[in-house]
Structure 1
Amino acid sequence: MSKKTILFHVLFWVLLMLSFAISEWNYRNTFIDAIVFEFLFLPIRMIAVYINWLVFIPKFLYTNKHTHYATAIIVLLSVLAITQRVFVLYYGYPQFFPEWTVGQHIHVFKFTSLVQVALIIATPLAITTGWKLFVDLKEKEQFTKVLEKEKTDSELKYLKSQINPHFLFNTLNNIYGLSLENSKKTSGLILKLSDFLSFSLYESNQKLIPLEKEIALMNDFIALEKSRFEDRVKVVLKLSKNKTSDILIPPLILVPFVENAFKHSLKNETEMATIHIHLSVSEKNLNFAVTNSKPLDSGILSKNKGLGLINIKKRLAIIYEDNYSLHINEQPDSYTIKLHIKTA
């Protein structure tokens, strides 16, 4: 037991005795008599409190054996009340309050007196029981919060670890396709890949990043994809004119939606694909919309099985809980996601 804990217990009993002595003062000749009277009951009260604290509460109350607990308390109070009656009648009162016993017949088992003594003992027992239940409940809640946070952090790290390799895998495929053609663009794309790796190593592990960094990554990704597909895709990008540096979001929370749009608008598509991206921000809200054309024979999006998209949904639910909304609208020739986040 630490010194802090010992000091706390000492202060508790001192304050308890002083409180009871003050209330007892009206029935005694002096305040000293009231203090002495409380001292006579202090040992038996401490025995009751610590037996209950250390044995009965963990063994019966915390295991939902309420009947056993009530029985144990009644037996304990009965035994201690009889013990205290013997102590005060044969030692305490004759020693400190002899006038109380002169000419009196000693009746240890007088029912009303036993009940009175039992109540005197039970008062601090009830106070400490309530306190222990309150403290233990708070500790349990705190422990549960810590476990939930650790679980959430672990899940987020797991989801990120899936997103980043998935994202990089697609980028490497892009570069591989160009390298087969001996394209002069390959070196530039490798440089962009280096930027992605740098982001993955140093930025994505952060809980939040400035929105402008996510926008920069999104612009790089769009440039990379357009370099690969050249005239096969048209991208219309509209970004908010409001200041974005003060808005913080989780890393890689927007880019996967853009990646998903490129992936599925160009899959099995021989004609021009179009992608519309719109990002607007206000003081407390972020709105992000991505619409991509879709080949008529594509059935992939309707099943919504994209790894990146599934993981983003999980991350949004964990991070923002009820402070976001994600709507998906699929038409025969288009696919739209609309994301709204309350940023404050």
Structure 2
Amino acid sequence: MFLNRYDIDEYHDFHKILIRHAYYISFTIVSSYFLTYLIIPKLITAKTYYLVTFYFLIGSYIICVCSRIVVVHVLEPFLRTAPFGQETVLEIAMDVPKLITHYFPLTFSAAWIFAFIKLIKEQYAAQQHKFSLEKERAETELKALKAQLNPHFLFNTLNNIYSLSLMNSPVTSKSIARLSEILDHVLYRCNGRYVSLSAEITLIKNYIELEKLRYGERLVVNFRHTIDHDTVIAPLILLSLVENAFKHGAGEDIGQPVINIDLKLVNNHFRFTVLNSFMPGREKEENRIGINNITRQLRLLYPEEHDLSTTTYDNIFVVLLHINLNNSTYLKDKRYESKVSFS
């Protein structure tokens, strides 16, 4: 089957279009890689922008000159019918206005878009990597928090229980049971991300009762708790705040230390307040370090959904924790499960 003249002309036009597009794509790729892998990385890490600007101008100039040379000495002889005039390489290199007004926009227009997309992709990958590292760090810190129960507390409690046993005290068995419940909760029930709030309340009660063995009648502890329903909460955060009050409050107050603890849960709005007295001039920096560690844990567990504040007045150290449990990950997962099961 023979092609007529119209088909031949159309065939040639199609190949000319392909060649033009191949030329345009080739130099777009060159300019894109030049921007993305040479200029932008140097721009991000450079201490001064003068050298980067120089690299950009020189590189852009070379790319535009090469682009013009390809057009004049490769494409035009192939696409146009001789004879026709051609610029020399020197004339092309010296024609800076035409390189700027025509070849720079033609060559770099799509390159900027490619570089922008590549930059966004790298930023997204960096954020995902950072998120992954944060998640790993969160898991590590949470494990450290679960292993944080003060060894001095265990040592003193065992000594107190031993003393009670020597005196055949009737509270010896109750103390052993409380210590057993605390260890069971910390070692076995806190392996998940959440535990029931009622279990945490029981943990605090047992901890307080065992600490009373250490301080005796000189320690005043008031623990009030009101919840409209049982829910789940991150484990050991509350115990850490209570332990902090005993360690830096009652542990350093040689007078008659006072610790007031108030826990409330209403409509999934959780409030936890701890007040402890301290001796004037003995509010140590370790107290602040302990609070900072707890703050870091809360940021990992309840981002944007909690508020932890501290204040002091009249030798009283106050910690106030508020958590909006309506937006917790656990409740979101349960709502999603409910929707799926209902549908």
TM-score by length of 1: 0.69
Distance 1:217 1:265, change over 3 A: same
Kindly indicate whether residue 47 of structure 2 is the aligned counterpart of residue 62 of structure 1.
Answer: no
Pick from 261, 285, 297 the counterpart of residue 269 of structure 2. 285
Pick from 290, 307, 325 the counterpart of residue 311 of structure 1. 290
Kindly indicate whether residue 61 of structure 2 is the aligned counterpart of residue 82 of structure 1.
Answer: no
Q: Secondary structure at the match of 1:304?
A: coil
Kindly indicate whether residue 91 of structure 2 is the aligned counterpart of residue 105 of structure 1.
Answer: no
Superposition map of 1:29-48 within 5 A = 33-48=16-31
User: Contact (CA 8 Å) 1:234, 1:274: kept in 2 or not?
Assistant: yes
Partners in 2 of 1:266 and 1:66 — Cα distance?
57
Q: Secondary structure at the match of 2:231?
A: coil
* Letter paired with 1:175: I
Residue in structure 1 matched with residue 330 of structure 2 by the alignment:
none
Kindly indicate whether residue 235 of structure 2 is the aligned counterpart of residue 253 of structure 1.
Answer: no
User: Contact (CA 8 Å) 2:259, 2:274: kept in 1 or not?
Assistant: yes
How far apart are residue 133 of structure 1 and its match?
A: 2.6
Partners in 2 of 1:55 and 1:265 — Cα distance?
61
Kindly indicate whether residue 283 of structure 2 is the aligned counterpart of residue 340 of structure 1.
Answer: no
Residue in structure 1 matched with residue 336 of structure 2 by the alignment:
none
User: Contact (CA 8 Å) 1:210, 1:247: kept in 2 or not?
Assistant: yes
How far apart are residue 343 of structure 1 and its match?
A: 2.5
Pick from 107, 126, 141 the counterpart of residue 140 of structure 1. 126
Partners in 2 of 1:195 and 1:106 — Cα distance?
93
Residue in structure 2 matched with residue 201 of structure 1 by the alignment:
187
> C-alpha root-mean-square deviation of aligned residues, in Å?
3.9
Partners in 2 of 1:290 and 1:63 — Cα distance?
47
Residue in structure 1 matched with residue 172 of structure 2 by the alignment:
186
Distance 1:69 1:38, change over 3 A: farther
Q: Secondary structure at the match of 1:195?
A: helix
Partners in 2 of 1:121 and 1:216 — Cα distance?
71
Q: Secondary structure at the match of 1:105?
A: coil
Q: Secondary structure at the match of 1:324?
A: strand
Comparing 184-193 with 215-224, greater Cα deviation is found at 184-193
Q: Secondary structure at the match of 2:86?
A: coil
Distance 1:218 1:105, change over 3 A: same
Residue in structure 2 matched with residue 212 of structure 1 by the alignment:
198
Identical counterparts, % of pairs: 25
Kindly indicate whether residue 166 of structure 2 is the aligned counterpart of residue 177 of structure 1.
Answer: no
Residue in structure 1 matched with residue 4 of structure 2 by the alignment:
none
Distance 1:186 1:285, change over 3 A: same
Partners in 2 of 1:194 and 1:227 — Cα distance?
15
User: Contact (CA 8 Å) 2:245, 2:275: kept in 1 or not?
Assistant: no
Partners in 2 of 1:234 and 1:84 — Cα distance?
85
User: Contact (CA 8 Å) 1:204, 1:252: kept in 2 or not?
Assistant: no
Partners in 1 of 2:240 and 2:294 — Cα distance?
13
* Letter paired with 2:56: I
Partners in 1 of 2:195 and 2:64 — Cα distance?
66
Kindly indicate whether residue 101 of structure 2 is the aligned counterpart of residue 123 of structure 1.
Answer: no
Partners in 2 of 1:74 and 1:68 — Cα distance?
10
Q: Show CA shifts across 1:20-72 (max 9, x none).
A: xxxxxxxxx978754442223322332332344334443x3233153333323
User: Contact (CA 8 Å) 2:67, 2:103: kept in 1 or not?
Assistant: yes
Partners in 2 of 1:252 and 1:287 — Cα distance?
13
Distance 1:319 1:31, change over 3 A: farther
Partners in 2 of 1:286 and 1:225 — Cα distance?
25
How far apart are residue 315 of structure 1 and its match?
A: 0.7
List runs of 5+ in structure 1 lacking aligned partners.
Answer: 1-28
* Letter paired with 1:303: R
Q: Show CA shifts across 1:307-328 (max 9, x none).
A: 6785245313541477323344
User: Contact (CA 8 Å) 2:245, 2:274: kept in 1 or not?
Assistant: no
User: Contact (CA 8 Å) 1:238, 1:279: kept in 2 or not?
Assistant: yes
Aligned pairs, how many?
302
Q: Secondary structure at the match of 2:267?
A: coil
